[in-house]
Chains A and B, each alone.
Chain A
């Protein structure tokens, strides 16, 4: 399947990127690992791809107690990074589950967050850690908490002309990541990204709806049994091609059980 015709321009500066993105039919090209297959399948027909790969969004640094990761940092770099392993191990673990090595060398953190695939790992990680997405637009920087960023199926709070520049991830004391997939690297059937600070747990599920879902009721329970029951209030999963809604809910409960200890006690 060959992509339809489009123009291409590489932005050499943020200002140039904003100029290019104002053109009709312009779309951001970062890693391209989700955009290019959709072009190959003629599911999208942009007029102009704006390659932001040269923009300075590749930092991994500690800032005000949170780890700030640039949007263009690749999954592979996240996997390898010592700072991410130390400061945001949940993110490092999630990165290991994204597709396969060749994809991880190109796909980016920002790209995954901006696409907001319901079965993707990072949106749930961002939700669990209470991350802040740092967006850049012509008017300047805009900071949006993860809880307000993911709004619907492939729908985020990104406004026209805005780019994800970085993500700030506060530290967590305990964390857990679990994913169920039929094969290595597949999109998750159901997944769990959890983080805990003190007595408070934030448990985000992915693959359970249009967006990642924070299981607030389950997280507030003190026993696993109670939490699994409460999950029925938190999640209304939709069926997918292979799994009924009931199966998704059941699997979510199983993942909760497998992550419970990790999230509940210090290690």
Chain B
């Protein structure tokens, strides 16, 4: 009695076909159906940013998109961007600055940070703070995250 549809999408470069419940959101699909548990569920309101993934090159909240809406899309998660080395510079800077503690916000935070870097802009510290203002972190107080992103931007 749970209406389901077949979807085909590319996840981290691999084509995937699955039958999914219409009501399942994208991050639950990635975690539960594909075992990609790197993207996290923190609120399911779209506010905390822990579920941030990339769809067709744009960051989105994985909890605010249905898996069925991702049919035909190109989805990238933190695991994919780690293996492709796209996040390497940010991950190194995060590590050196201790821009993570418990690590739960980190995949989403890296997605948001990478989005800023990919924009090619030269943001100020205030701009960096504004760009990650939708990613909740309870552990770090944000400063080390801003420091890490700033370091990568300065090159």
Complex: A in contact with B (CB within 8 Å): yes
Q: How far is the CA of A5 from the CA of B3 in the complex (A)?
A: 7
Interface-centre pick from A39, A100, A106 (highest chain B CB count, 10 A): A100
A266 interfacial by beta-carbon distance below 8 Å: no
Among A1, A2, A7, A106, the residue within 8 A (CB) of B60 is A106
Q: For residue B68, which residues in chain A have a CB less than 8 angstroms away from its CB?
A: 8, 10, 51
Interface size on B, residues (CB 8 A): 34
Q: For residue B102, which residues in chain A have a CB less than 8 angstroms away from its CB?
A: none
- B5 to chain A: closest residue by CB: A8
Among B3, B28, B115, the residue within 8 A (CB) of A101 is B115
Q: For residue B59, which residues in chain A have a CB less than 8 angstroms away from its CB?
A: 101-102, 105
Looking at the assembled complex, report how far the CB atom of B33 sits from the nearest CB atom of chain A, in whole angstroms. 14
A41 interfacial by beta-carbon distance below 8 Å: yes
Q: For residue A106, which residues in chain B have a CB less than 8 angstroms away from its CB?
A: 60-61, 64-65
- A33 to chain B: closest residue by CB: B64
A17 interfacial by beta-carbon distance below 8 Å: no
- B53 to chain A: closest residue by CB: A102
A32 interfacial by beta-carbon distance below 8 Å: yes
Q: Which residues B102-133 have CB closer than 8 A to chain A?
A: 111-112, 115, 129-131, 133
Interface-centre pick from B28, B112, B133 (highest chain A CB count, 10 A): B133
Q: For residue A10, which residues in chain B have a CB less than 8 angstroms away from its CB?
A: 68, 71
Q: For residue B44, which residues in chain A have a CB less than 8 angstroms away from its CB?
A: 1, 37, 40-41
Q: For residue B45, which residues in chain A have a CB less than 8 angstroms away from its CB?
A: 37, 40-41
Q: For residue A41, which residues in chain B have a CB less than 8 angstroms away from its CB?
A: 44-45
Main secondary structure on A side of the interface with B: loop
Q: For residue A49, which residues in chain B have a CB less than 8 angstroms away from its CB?
A: 22, 66
Interface-centre pick from B23, B59, B71 (highest chain A CB count, 10 A): B23
B58 and A2 within 8 A (CB): no
Q: Which residues B49-73 have CB closer than 8 A to chain A?
A: 49, 52, 58-61, 63-66, 68-69, 71
Q: For residue A183, which residues in chain B have a CB less than 8 angstroms away from its CB?
A: 133
Contacts A32-B64, A36-B25, A103-B61 given; indicate if A6 touches B3 (C-beta within 8 A): yes
Q: How far is the CA of A2 from the CA of B66 in the complex (A)?
A: 12
Looking at the assembled complex, report how far the CB atom of A172 sits from the nearest CB atom of chain B, in whole angstroms. 26
A5 and B65 within 8 A (CB): no
- A1 to chain B: closest residue by CB: B44
A-B contact pairs, 6 of them (CB 8 A): A8-B22, A29-B66, A37-B46, A100-B133, A101-B134, A183-B133
Q: Which of A's residues lie within 8 Å of B, judged by CB?
A: 1-8, 10, 29, 32-33, 36-37, 39-41, 49, 51, 53, 76, 99-103, 105-106, 183-185
Q: Which of B's residues lie within 8 Å of A, judged by CB?
A: 1-3, 5, 21-23, 25, 28, 44-46, 49, 52, 58-61, 63-66, 68-69, 71, 111-112, 115, 129-131, 133-135
Q: A29-B69, A32-B69 given; name 17 further pairs at CB < 8 Å.
A: A3-B25, A5-B2, A6-B3, A8-B5, A10-B68, A32-B66, A36-B66, A37-B44, A40-B25, A51-B68, A53-B69, A100-B135, A102-B59, A102-B61, A103-B46, A105-B59, A106-B60
